[in-house]
Amino acid sequence: MSAIRDKVSAGERLQKALAQLGLGSRREIETWIQAGRLTINGQVAALGARVQAGDEVRLDGRLIRRRRAAPEQVLLCHRSPGDDSLVERLPKSAGRRFIAISPMPRIDGGLELLTSDGELALELQRCVKDQVCEFSVRVNGVLSEAHLDGLRGGQLDGANHVDVQAVEFDEADEESTAANRWYRLRARGASGKDVRQLFERQGAIVSRILRTHFGPISLERGLARGQHRALTASELVALVPRLAPPPVVKAAARRKRAPSRRG
């Protein structure tokens, strides 16, 4: 009998165990439980159900098989605006699906972070509010200083607010005579949707938004549109410090003095 092991410890909640296997988010898995799609050892699972090593878990009658534990992996992707096929081109991993972290709206693009680890995705999503992200924003015409001051205020619709760190004209676009101009905006915890709303509240006509930095992670020039790479171990630790390897403690060498021999 094949069963979930390794990833499931004794008494672990079902939705957490399956999220760790990359099958979906906890919230999504809870809807599966409510719909009666999951069984444990032949019995329909209920909310709050727990599983342990040796339990047989099925989704829609199909056995969820054990997989060898894989290291946490996050992919950095360069998505083109309007590209819906990016996820389809990512490496397949035993039926896992990739989850985007604070994804950009479909009409925009740039840096995207994706992972097939449900628990890691949830943790990364929670830390978004603490990350300073940078966006390149293309608007029609040149914004006045009053408009820039309005952007720096960070006011969104209603009582919502964005912590804007800086907004400036892109110097690389300074000599341009084109109708569209690029601006760079850095804000803490901002999504692509927030940035568009922020500019549109100032009357700007936004044609494109590209995310170029996500906290300590930047979209390098060498990564072409539609391509991806795995984050390095140091980049992943910069995002999630708990993944840092434990420090190596070197025990002090003790030298034993050989007993003296007296002739």
The ranges assigned to domains in the chain are: 12-63, 74-242
Handedness of CA 190, 194, 198, 203 (dihedral sign): positive
Apex CA 114: angle with CA 247 and CA 231, to 5°? 40
pLDDT in tens, the chain (263 residues): 344 444 444 578 888 888 877 677 788 899 999 999 999 999 999 998 998 878 889 999 988 875 544 455 789 999 998 887 777 777 765 456 788 999 999 999 999 999 988 888 888 998 888 999 999 999 999 999 999 999 999 999 888 899 999 999 887 665 566 789 999 999 999 999 999 999 999 999 999 999 999 999 999 989 999 999 999 989 988 988 877 766 655 544 444 555 555 54
Question: Is 70 strand, coil or helix?
Answer: coil
In one-letter notation, the amino acid at residue 66 is: R
> What tokens were used for 212?
């170029």
**Helix or strand (DSSP H, E) at 208:** strand 206-214
Alpha-carbon torsion angle 163, 166, 168, 171, nearest 10: -140
Distances (CA, A) of 77 to 85, 112, 138: 12, 5, 21
Question: 192 and 135 in contact (C-beta within 8 Å)?
Answer: yes
Q: Whole-angstrom Cα distance, residue 249 to residue 238?
A: 22
**Helix or strand (DSSP H, E) at 74:** strand 74-79
The CATH architecture that domain 12-63 belongs to is: Roll (3.10)
**In degrees rounded to 5, what are phi and psi of residue 136?**
-100, 125
pTM of this structure:
0.68
The CATH number of the domain covering residues in 74-242: 3.30.2350.10
Residue 184 confidence (pLDDT): 96
Residue 94 confidence (pLDDT): 44
> What tokens were used for 190?
């901002």
Contacts of 76 (CB under 8 A, 6+ apart): 111, 112, 113, 217, 219, 223, 228, 229, 230, 231, 235
Question: 86 and 52 in contact (C-beta within 8 Å)?
Answer: no
Apex CA 71: angle with CA 225 and CA 86, to 5°? 20
Which residues are registered as beta bridge partners of 188? 132, 163
Distances (CA, A) of 219 to 96, 106, 121, 173: 25, 18, 20, 19
